[in-house]
Amino acid sequence: MNARNTLIKTVALAAVLAVATGCTPKTQNLTAGNVNEPTTMGLSSIDFERAASDAVQSLLETGAVDRNDGKKNIMVISSVLNDTMQRIDTDQLVKKIRIELLRSGKVYTTTAIGLNGAEDKMNNVINELKQSKRVDRSTLVKQKLAAPNMSLSGKIIQRNNRVNSGEQLVEYYFQLTLTDLSNGLGIWEGETPIRKLGSAKGTSW
């Protein structure tokens, strides 16, 4: 009887493991435009891409960054505040906006000047190299930083609303402001809403 019980338990365990393994989701690579892209109540990379694309398209359509002297505006990203329930890296949105702006060919973005200092720390290291005797001075560049004439700032806002007993509406607003630093005037404002309807049991953080 013991041998038979052991055999039965072994077969049962093997069956459970086989079922569990068969139900395990398969790992897959997701690419842009993938029809199987999962949807979440929180913010995803797709949401950031959409917000960045819509914002830059709106900005370019207004002509706010156009110039008639053949030169390009120099833009600094001031700050993008996170007023959502999620711990998100706003640099992800900033980076996508900068990529879109640079592709437009109408602006430069500075990595040497910012609220928290230089984004690319090598801008500071170059000055330190001038004091080093180990560096061939003939190879040193004469650094003359270009000051920005435009500043982009923004905020991401989240609002959760219960629609009924089983659903909730989560709204995100990507708000951006472009300021002319020569006079401090806001020359463009943009807001991209992203709204998601889903289960009230789902979380958005």
Q: Which domains does the chain have, with CATH numbers?
A: 43-110+146-199 (3.40.50.10610)
The predicted-structure confidence for 132-159, as pLDDT tens digits, reads as follows 889 998 898 888 999 999 999 999 999 9
**pLDDT (0 to 100) of residue 162:** 85
- How much is the average pLDDT of 63-90? 90
Tell me phi and psi for residue 181, to 5 degrees: -70, -10
Reported confidence tier of residue 4, pLDDT bands at 50, 70, 90? low
The percentage of residues in the chain with a pLDDT greater than 90, rounded to a whole number, is 39
190 in Cβ contact with 100 (< 8 Å): no
The predicted-structure confidence for 27-73, as pLDDT tens digits, reads as follows 555 555 555 666 778 888 888 888 889 999 999 999 999 998 989 99
Is 12 a residue whose pLDDT tops 70? no
Q: What type of residue is 126?
A: I
Reported confidence tier of residue 24, pLDDT bands at 50, 70, 90? low
**pLDDT (0 to 100) of residue 187:** 96
Q: What does the mean pLDDT of the chain come to?
A: 83
pTM of the model: 0.75
Q: Nearest Cα to 112, choosing from 94, 133, 97, 126?
A: 126
Q: Tell me the Cα Rg of the chain.
A: 26
3-state secondary structure 135-171: CCHHHCCCCCCCCCCEEEEEEEEEEEEECCCCEEEEE
**pLDDT (0 to 100) of residue 23:** 58
CA distance 178 to 61: 14
**pLDDT (0 to 100) of residue 29:** 57
CA distance 205 to 91: 18
Q: Where do the H-state alpha helices sit in the chain?
A: 2-23, 45-62, 90-104, 122-129
Is 15 a residue whose pLDDT tops 70? no
CA distance 44 to 38: 9
CA distance 134 to 136: 7
Reported confidence tier of residue 202, pLDDT bands at 50, 70, 90? low
